[in-house]
Amino acid sequence: MQRILIILIAYLLPAFAAEARDRRAFVVGVEAYSELPPLDTTARDARALAAVLRNDLGFDHVTVDPGTTLLDFKLAFGAFIESIEPGDDVVFFFSGHGWSDGFENYLAFGDARKSAPQATLKLTTLNLTKEILDLIAESRPGALVLIIDACRNNPFSGVTKSLTKGLVRVPEREGTLIAFAAGQGQEALARLPGEEGEQLSLFSRELLPRLKDGRKPLARILEDTRKSVQSVASAVPHEQRPAVYSELPLDYCFSRDCVSVFDEEDTFWLQISAANETVAACAGYARYLVRYPQGKFAGRAALEARQPACTSDPASEVTPVTADAACPTLQAVVYFEFDRSNLNAASVDVLEALARPDPACRIETVTISGHDASAYVIEDVPVSPAYSLAVSERRAANVRDYLVSQGADASRIFTEAFGATKLAVNAEGREPLNRRVEITVLRQSANP
């Protein structure tokens, strides 16, 4: 009997080993820059996070890189990627200077040059999506968590012309969570005014003590961190609210023995707040207050609902042009965030309704028109009409691509872009009614 049991255990061990996932982390803290201003908390942030991952969470492999030069980083990071096995949990952390051209985010290493054309900066700094996120994703990790504390003052100010303040939103992707120390258009505080001595950044000091509980869902840890950072920063006063873009399950944790701390209300609130100040989030706050008027997040929901993004953004909608016809022509409008072209949840709902098959009607043509606000300013630099036109082109293209992904016939779709030449409201700047895509769906009876 003992012999049989030993043989059975030996047979099962490889299966258990295959199911067990390694946890790997690559941690970067760039403190010394040859031409850019030095940063005095970044290396401490990186070392403190590495200690939590090793000592409290029991990560199998933690690589700490000082980010001295871009080439040295790439050599070390390449070896790290080669070590990832399918199904591993992977964490990437960066603390240092970062910048954005309004569409992509870039990380700067110790040898980054201050005075260089923007095209050169893109070649000598690291594209967060293409050179970090995409490369790790190719190794098929089980979960990927990126934590970026690089949303500080733009160190290349005066060189980068089409720059947004801070880092810009990253589209969610399955199995991935991305956390920024500050939201779009915000700066992350390295330390509070008047503080002296060795400190962690505001984001790290609020995150790391919570992160030590490996059984607690990461979504809850980050939501608690967001609230705490926002509260501390507002007292300074300063506007900083970490941004989280996640397609990980709400109950995901770093331990293999997770403890759920969510009830129905928690889950509903986290789904709303994950939309990060989009039109969908604003509608979600209103729904939350109706469902839980005395709920644990009611005060926060009421506060968020009064913010400008929620009091001025219009709702995407679909409207039949000829209500009495058997197959009416459909018109829809979807709206976008300031200077952005990615679809939000409310826009997706509208486009799904447009793409839904109707056996009685066939689609003849779909016309998609992209629009943007009139000339506005990003970091004191006027944005040209050509820039607005490019934004409206990307918006129209994203709508087209989504409809095609839902089964629409690409040969029947026609796109056009008008930039700021056809304003819905004759107002300059961030007017949300002008940041839109208009869609017209001409339909005919399928059985004439």
**Segment 163-189, tens digit of pLDDT:** 445 687 777 788 999 999 998 778 899
When the pLDDT of each residue in the chain is averaged and rounded to a whole number, the result is 82
State the DSSP code for 355: H
Structural domain ending residue among the three candidates 271, 291, 312 = 312
For 63-86, write each residue's pLDDT tens digit: 999 999 999 999 999 999 999 999
From the list 148, 153, 178, the residue with the least C-alpha distance to 163 is 153
If asked whether residues 130 and 36 sit together in one domain, one would say yes
373, part of any domain: yes
Q: Would you place residue 197 in the very low, low, confident or very high pLDDT band (cuts 50, 70, 90)?
A: confident
What was the pLDDT predicted at 258?
84
What was the pLDDT predicted at 137?
94
If asked whether residues 63 and 88 sit together in one domain, one would say yes
Q: Is the pLDDT of residue 318 over 80?
A: no
Question: How many other C-beta atoms can be found within 10 angstroms of the C-beta atom of residue 143?
Answer: 20
Report the pLDDT averaged over residues 234-257. Answer: 87
Query: What is the C-alpha separation between 96 and 44, in angstroms, rounded?
Result: 11
Question: How many other C-beta atoms can be found within 10 angstroms of the C-beta atom of residue 6?
Answer: 10
Structural domain of 287: 281-312
Query: What is the C-alpha separation between 15 and 126, in angstroms, rounded?
Result: 39
| Residue 409 dihedral angles phi and psi, to the nearest 5° | -80, 115
In the chain, the percentage of residues whose pLDDT exceeds 90 is 38
Query: What is the C-alpha separation between 392 and 419, in angstroms, rounded?
Result: 5
| Residue 267 dihedral angles phi and psi, to the nearest 5° | -60, -45
CATH code of 422's domain: 3.30.1330.60
CATH code of 144's domain: 3.40.50.1460
Chain center to CA of 132? 14
114 Cβ contact list (under 8 Å, min separation 6): 35, 36, 155, 156, 159
Report the pLDDT averaged over residues 358-384. Answer: 75
26, part of any domain: yes
If asked whether residues 425 and 292 sit together in one domain, one would say no
What was the pLDDT predicted at 275?
61
Position of tokens 């050169």?
A: 120
Query: What is the C-alpha separation between 263 and 295, in angstroms, rounded?
Result: 12
If asked whether residues 184 and 330 sit together in one domain, one would say no
Number of domains in the chain: 3
3, part of any domain: no
Collapsing DSSP to helix, strand or coil, 364 comes out as strand
What was the pLDDT predicted at 170?
79
Q: Is the pLDDT of residue 127 over 80?
A: yes
Q: Is the pLDDT of residue 439 over 60?
A: yes
Query: What is the C-alpha separation between 121 and 421, in angstroms, rounded?
Result: 32
Q: Is the pLDDT of residue 92 over 90?
A: yes
**Amino acid identity at 96:** G
